């Protein structure tokens, strides 16, 4: 749903359409996304128009990027350590 909203505003019905779900189920998903602050809903008569609020996603991306750099550095260090350990093994030590 969020990916669809990245292309522009959609009604709840339009958000539900690509998925095998009822309009009621889509409304529950939209409500959860709204409560999470990821979308904004505007009511126009009987139509509920949804709009992406990308700011929380950008904040999450920044937080995740920090940890991605952290874990990439840790895994690179582990790989270097394992390669160095492998290089010090004599052929008779290798099973």
Q: Which two tokens stand for residue 85?
A: 């350990």
- Measured distance CA(81)–CA(95) in Å, rounded: 20
Q: CATH assignment of 2-52, given 1.20.1250.20, 2.60.40.10, 3.40.50.2000, 1.10.10.10?
A: 1.10.10.10
Q: Which strand ranges, in their side-by-side order, compose the sheet holding 10-11?
A: 10-11, 47-52, 39-44
Give the start-to-end residue ranges of the domains of the chain. 2-52, 55-89
pTM higher than 0.85: no
For the stretch 24-62, pLDDT in tens is: 999 999 999 999 999 999 998 988 899 999 999 888 999
Helices (H), the chain: 2-6, 12-16, 23-35, 55-88
Give the Cα separation of 8 and 51 in Å (integer): 7
């Amino acid at each position: 749903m969020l990916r669809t909203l990245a292309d522009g505003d959609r009604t709840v019905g339009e958000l539900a359409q690509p998925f095998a779900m009822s309009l009621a189920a889509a409304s529950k998903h939209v409500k959860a996304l709204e409560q999470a602050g990821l979308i904004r809903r505007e009511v126009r008569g009987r139509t509920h128009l949804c709009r992406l609020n990308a700011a929380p996603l950008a904040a999450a991306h920044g937080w995740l990027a920090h940890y991605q750099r952290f874990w990439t550095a840790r895994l690179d260090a582990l790989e270097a350590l394992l390669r160095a350990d492998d290089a010090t093994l004599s052929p008779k030590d290798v099973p």
